[in-house]
A and B are shown apart, each in its own frame.
Chain A
Amino acid sequence: MYSDLLHALPDVFAWTNFAAVVIGVIAGIVVGAMPGLSATMAISVLVPFTFGLEPLVALGLMAGIYNGAMYGGAIPAVLLRIPGTPAAVATTFDGYPMAQKGEGGFALQVAVVSSSIGGIASAFALMLLAPPLSKVTLLFGPSEVFWVAVFGLASIIFLLGGNPIKGLISACFGVFVSVIGSDPIYGNDRFTFGQLELLDGINIVILLVGLYALPPVIDLLETPLKTDGVNSSKLGTEPIWKALPRMNYWKTWLRGSFLGIWIGILPGAGGSMAAFMSYNEARRTSKHPETWGEGEPEGVAAAEVANNADTASALIPALTLGIPGTAVAAVMLGGLLVHGLQPGPMLFRDNPDIVFGFMWQFLFGAILLVLLGGSLATNSFARLLNLPRPLLGSVIIVLMLIGVYSINGRMFDVYLMLGFGAIGWVMDRLKFPLPPVVLGLILGGFAEENLRLALRIGRGDPMVLFQNTTSLILVALTVAVVVGPTLKKRFIDSRKKA
């Protein structure tokens, strides 16, 4: 197998194949940076055009876009508090405060270096460990996946800080949105009011753009007289080699990579859950947790390393079992199928040069990210902040409308997005946290579907949910997350009294 890996290398360096990765990374960063455009969308637009292309050119473009977009999402997250992709939500926590303090340039550099490290770690996991890791995926049947989703939701509600009751209400709203559409088992319409457009449920990008992009834009437009950008003149950019020594986040990078890879191989959860978990863990183990949320660069590092670490690893179940770990991996699977690459154990034997070449492309895509992403972000995107606020707000609104419209080519989605925007604005004003809504939508559907499948397997007996070690470990983790903070607080309080 490792000789196959080396054998595939020369093809990757054919100039067309290499150029494809470069173009893909740049396109991915741009797409990721635009609110409303996502890697999933870019790749699904690309798939029909790849019919006529050489496999490695097509796959190189996809690998580049995937890597680039996962970092690109951080750019507006840092500069404007608008996550460009669902996975960049956690990047806003500390990235935006940094930008406000005039450290936006450094935040972007931390993001690009961390993204790259996560991407490289993930590519190595895909290259070297795909077959054994796919065995891990097999341990996760419906009841285990249900607990993963519950654990993810519990973490976001109880660990994010702030008010858990408000977090719970936000998460419930997200879960409610996940219920809209066809019932996952019987296919009955739920809350669709006869609208064919709602049958497939609500696309996460529509919710994300509405909730996250509209409120900041309204803020931008509310104070049009302040012509100065957020911090236009003091982005705090310095050459990346000077910034590098300031980044000493090895533990966070290691932990984030591990979490990202791990969550990537589980069906469904994806980059946003990886980023949240990594952020939570890094904050929990930090020596100065009080600085988190106020512009702690390590928070940006934690989120970005994890959301890139899940890119290549999400392809492990996709390539070996045909089940994509994320929405992007699902679209890429289509791109592989177009080129006659059937997922499964034979894939690695039948088409080693293409499959392993594709993996190399992931690795090079991740490495290129540092070279291309750093300068692209600080030299061009960050200049956006120099625009007068009303103009900047208007540009973002136009991008949002175009992005959401182009998902399915229909105005219905645009109206839906505006509706979510209104809700998001009210929630923002009332200090309801928004991340639980996003994860509620992503994980709610998974939790429901898998709970119902598990109960069917157990023929209605709920004990089926507690029947094996993997499930029990996940239950224990969930309980720890829910009662842990309360217990810790009591412990500290009692120590104070004594």
Chain B
Amino acid sequence: MLNIFKKTAIAGAMILSAGAALAEYPEEPIEVIVGYSAGGGTDVMARTAAPFIEKYLGDGASLVVKNMPGASGQIGVTEAANADPDGYTLGTFNLPGMMARTIDREAGYDRDSFTYLANVVNDPNVIVTSKESGLDTLDKLLEEAKANPLAVTVGMSSLGGDDHFALIKLQQATDTEYTIVPFKGSAPARTALLGGHVAMGILNISEVAEFQDQLNVLGVATDERSQFAPDLPTFKEQGLDLVNGSMRGFIAPAGLPEDVQAKLIDAFSQLSDDQEFLDAMAATANPVEVVTGEEFKQLTSDLYDLANGVWQTTPWN
């Protein structure tokens, strides 16, 4: 009942304000729905970016982060997809997770449910091995995996996530097979590696940067060396074409007015040149790579196709 009142009120307010006010967007606080609890990687990204977006939107704009955790981000992103496309509700967006969930379960949204604003974080995958495994180079790892298919155990944070897609790409590129051990989250996977309970792990660069001394980091899945840890070599340097990562960005519901969309995208695109923002993100272990608008949409689409292709041949559940 209350909801109906609320919706009518919002709709009424929108009709009243539609013509004149949109030019002055934003004139009320913008809500950013984060599908995870406060203090997680995605939440920290949203809260770190918020003051900078406020600065670039200007006119005393204000962003309010709202956590709606649950069902690995599904509850929050569904809420954002179904919100009124007036520019006052945005949401965070994770790749490839958000697309993979539309494939491996029934989701309340699809890739056309959103206006793509900007991807902000790209945390590339790394392959690491435990010190005990003795597999301290990529060649040794591949040799072992070829000699004994499925003998190498791979710890990762979940099935159907970026780690898993990186492994599938590795398997396809090198014609090797591994035994997947999907932990609940990357920290337990990393701990199992430190304790030598699994031989190999696929993690993200931000998760291993602090642990370089205790693990063998075999390579980073980027085109060029990551600014986040410039001393770590890429796979490309080692002759292996493997690029993959976990991405986090911002979306709005589909059907956003064009001027609002343009204003938001403009604000997000200025993030990549803001040294203060880059420093704040580096401090919270978020490697920045800003991709906006159409390019972000294309990126999402590509990842969907990849995930869908994988699902058709080797479904992960």
A200 touches B190 (CB 8 A): no
| Cα of A204 to Cα of B309 in the assembled complex, Å | 39
Proximity string of chain A (115-146) to chain B, C-beta cutoff 8 Å, 1 when within and 0 when not:
00000000000000000000001111110000
Contact of A453 among B38, B105, B183 (CB under 8 A): B183
Nearest CB in chain B to that of A138: its residue: B195
**B174 is an interface residue with CB less than 8 A from chain A:** no
Proximity string of chain B (173-194) to chain A, C-beta cutoff 8 Å, 1 when within and 0 when not:
0000001111110011011101
Q: Which residues of B contact A340 (CB under 8 A)?
A: 283-284
B47 touches A187 (CB 8 A): no
Of the listed residues B37, B39, B191, the one surrounded by the most CB atoms of chain A closer than 10 A to its CB is B39
Proximity string of chain A (326-351) to chain B, C-beta cutoff 8 Å, 1 when within and 0 when not:
00000101110110101111110000
| Cα of A335 to Cα of B39 in the assembled complex, Å | 6
| Cα of A323 to Cα of B197 in the assembled complex, Å | 15
**B159 is an interface residue with CB less than 8 A from chain A:** yes
| Cα of A303 to Cα of B67 in the assembled complex, Å | 35
**A383 is an interface residue with CB less than 8 A from chain B:** no
Contact segment of A44-52, A96-104, A152-160, A352-360: A44-52
* A187-B160 in contact given A47-B39, A322-B190, A335-B39 (Cβ < 8 Å): yes
| Cα of A67 to Cα of B284 in the assembled complex, Å | 27
Proximity string of chain A (168-207) to chain B, C-beta cutoff 8 Å, 1 when within and 0 when not:
0000000000000011111111000000110110000000
B38 touches A47 (CB 8 A): yes
| Cα of A338 to Cα of B150 in the assembled complex, Å | 39
- Number of A-B pairs, beta carbon distance below 8 Å: 117
Q: Which residues of B contact A322 (CB under 8 A)?
A: 187, 190-191, 207
* A347-B210 in contact given A138-B195, A321-B190 (Cβ < 8 Å): yes
| Cα of A333 to Cα of B284 in the assembled complex, Å | 12
Nearest CB in chain A to that of B182: its residue: A185
* A141-B187 in contact given A44-B38, A199-B71, A459-B179 (Cβ < 8 Å): no
- 425-482 of chain A: CB within 8 A of chain B: 449, 453, 456-457, 459
| Cα of A326 to Cα of B40 in the assembled complex, Å | 16
Of the listed residues B182, B188, B213, B214, the one surrounded by the most CB atoms of chain A closer than 10 A to its CB is B188
A334 touches B40 (CB 8 A): yes
**A408 is an interface residue with CB less than 8 A from chain B:** yes
**A24 is an interface residue with CB less than 8 A from chain B:** no
**Whole-angstrom distance between the Cβ of A334 and the nearest chain B Cβ:** 2
Q: Which residues of B contact A267 (CB under 8 A)?
A: 188, 191
| Cα of A453 to Cα of B154 in the assembled complex, Å | 11
Q: Which residues of A contact B211 (CB under 8 A)?
A: 344-345
Contact of A337 among B183, B207, B284 (CB under 8 A): B284
Q: Which residues of A contact B39 (CB under 8 A)?
A: 44, 47, 331, 333-335, 337-338
Contact of B191 among A47, A137, A334 (CB under 8 A): A137
Nearest CB in chain A to that of B150: its residue: A459
Nearest CB in chain B to that of A455: its residue: B181
Interface size for B (C-beta < 8 A) is 49
Of the listed residues B69, B195, B211, the one surrounded by the most CB atoms of chain A closer than 10 A to its CB is B195
- 301-317 of chain B: CB within 8 A of chain A: 316-317
| Cα of A490 to Cα of B150 in the assembled complex, Å | 50
- 338-386 of chain A: CB within 8 A of chain B: 338, 340, 342-347
Proximity string of chain B (223-243) to chain A, C-beta cutoff 8 Å, 1 when within and 0 when not:
000000000000000000000
* A345-B197 in contact given A48-B67, A187-B158 (Cβ < 8 Å): no
- 30-72 of chain B: CB within 8 A of chain A: 37-41, 43-44, 47, 65, 67, 69-72
* A186-B317 in contact given A138-B195, A139-B195 (Cβ < 8 Å): yes
Nearest CB in chain A to that of B47: its residue: A51
| Cα of A141 to Cα of B195 in the assembled complex, Å | 7
**Whole-angstrom distance between the Cβ of B191 and the nearest chain A Cβ:** 5
Nearest CB in chain A to that of B210: its residue: A344
B198 touches A196 (CB 8 A): no
B210 touches A141 (CB 8 A): no
**B74 is an interface residue with CB less than 8 A from chain A:** yes
**B153 is an interface residue with CB less than 8 A from chain A:** yes
Nearest CB in chain B to that of A46: its residue: B38
* A338-B160 in contact given A138-B191, A323-B187 (Cβ < 8 Å): no
**Whole-angstrom distance between the Cβ of A299 and the nearest chain B Cβ:** 34
B317 touches A188 (CB 8 A): yes
Q: Which residues of B contact A184 (CB under 8 A)?
A: 184
**B80 is an interface residue with CB less than 8 A from chain A:** no
| Cα of A48 to Cα of B39 in the assembled complex, Å | 8
| Cα of A115 to Cα of B180 in the assembled complex, Å | 43
Nearest CB in chain A to that of B100: its residue: A187
Q: Which residues of B contact A140 (CB under 8 A)?
A: 195
Nearest CB in chain A to that of B186: its residue: A322
* A457-B284 in contact given A48-B65, A186-B316, A199-B74 (Cβ < 8 Å): no
Nearest CB in chain A to that of B39: its residue: A334
A187 touches B194 (CB 8 A): no
Nearest CB in chain B to that of A188: its residue: B317
Q: Would you mind naming 10 contact pairs between A and B with Cβ atoms under 8 Å apart? A: A44-B37, A48-B67, A137-B195, A182-B71, A183-B317, A189-B105, A196-B75, A334-B38, A338-B38, A347-B210
Contacts A187-B159, A331-B37 known; 20 new A-B pairs at CB < 8 A:
A137-B191, A137-B195, A138-B195, A138-B196, A140-B195, A141-B195, A187-B72, A187-B105, A188-B317, A197-B70, A321-B187, A323-B188, A323-B191, A338-B39, A338-B44, A342-B285, A343-B187, A453-B182, A456-B181, A459-B150
Residues on A facing B (Cβ under 8 Å)? 44, 47-48, 51, 137-142, 182-189, 196-197, 199-200, 267, 317, 321-323, 331, 333-335, 337-338, 340, 342-347, 408, 449, 453, 456-457, 459
Residues on B facing A (Cβ under 8 Å)? 37-41, 43-44, 47, 65, 67, 69-72, 74-75, 104-105, 150, 153, 158-160, 179-184, 187-188, 190-192, 194-198, 207, 210-211, 213-214, 283-285, 316-317
